[in-house]
Every structure is written in C-alpha cells, then in structure tokens.
Amino acid sequence: MLEEILDIRNVTKALKQVTANKGAGGIDGMQTDELRDYLHAHWQTLRTSILEGNYKAQAVRKVEIPKPQGGTRMLGIPTLLSYYLFTV
C-alpha cells in the first residue's frame, strides 16, 4: 500500500498542495520554494527510508497564537518535509 501512496502522481499532487499553502517553515527552516529541489535531489533515499520503515519525522515547532476571545493557544508547525509526506 505504501508503494501506491508514494506513486509519482500522488507525490506530484502533494507537492502542488504544499507549495500552494505557502505556510511557515518548521524547525528545519526549509521554505516552500526549496522543497521541489530538495525532493528532486533526495526522493529515492527518502522513499526507500519510508518503505523500509526507517523514516522518522522531525520535531514540531511550537508557536503561541492569540485566541479571538483573549489568551493564546499552542500551534504545532511541522517541518515542510513532514507536512509534505503526510499530504501524500
């Protein structure tokens, strides 16, 4: 099933979704405009790592954001790569 999920059509669709979102980067500092080149250079290694069960997502960056009624709440921002992989 993972091989179907990691099919190039799903990978391409996920990349488009992530780059369209243009969200803030996680703890690795990678920006959306850097993701395509990173995946192009590292996709085979990353795919193999996922299929073998060796991939480990990086930590989530925590940010406090204000609530409309006052106070704040915690927001977790994953790394761009983790966000992308969970979008696939």
Q: pLDDT tens digit string along 19-69?
A: 887 767 788 888 888 888 888 899 899 899 989 999 888 888 899 999 999
Query: Which domain, by its residues, includes 81?
Result: 2-87
Q: Is the pLDDT of residue 9 over 90?
A: no
Angstrom distances, CA of residue 50 to CA of 24, 43, 54, 58, 69 = 24, 10, 6, 14, 42
pLDDT at 87: 67
Residue 20 has what pLDDT? Answer: 84
* pLDDT value of position 86: 67
| pTM: predicted TM-score of the whole model, two decimal places | 0.69
**Total domain count, the chain:** 1
Neighbours of 83 (CB within 10 A): 22
Confidence band for 70, pLDDT divided at 50, 70 and 90? very high
